[in-house]
Amino acid sequence: MPQTRTDAEIKQTMKIIASTTTLTLTDARIDQDLAAYKGHLAAIDAIRSVTLPLEAEPAAIVVMKKS
């Protein structure tokens, strides 16, 4: 997520995400959660800034239960 997004754009994104999950967030709740969501976006940016070779990616182990 680009660091150039305004708070208004981030709030609009939060409203859209909430509506797709059938949550209705008030403007007061959006304002209250804005700092945490911005921290979440910053963490995603930090993770994406590290380039890892494919071999360093975590492997998913799937365990199938026999019926």
Q: Examine residue 67 and state whether it is found in any structural domain, yes or no.
A: no
Number of domains in the chain: 1
Q: Examine residue 66 and state whether it is found in any structural domain, yes or no.
A: no
Q: Examine residue 63 and state whether it is found in any structural domain, yes or no.
A: no
Structural domain of 17: 7-56
3 burial via Cβ count (<10 Å: 0-12, 13-18, 19+): exposed
Q: Examine residue 62 and state whether it is found in any structural domain, yes or no.
A: no
H or E element in which residue 35 lies: helix 27-48
pLDDT tens for residues 22-45? 888 899 999 999 999 999 999 988
Q: Which residues, 6+ apart, have CB-to-CB distance to 44 below 8 Å?
A: 1
Q: Examine residue 39 and state whether it is found in any structural domain, yes or no.
A: yes
Q: Examine residue 64 and state whether it is found in any structural domain, yes or no.
A: no
pLDDT tens for residues 39-56? 999 998 888 888 877 777
pLDDT at position 48: 86
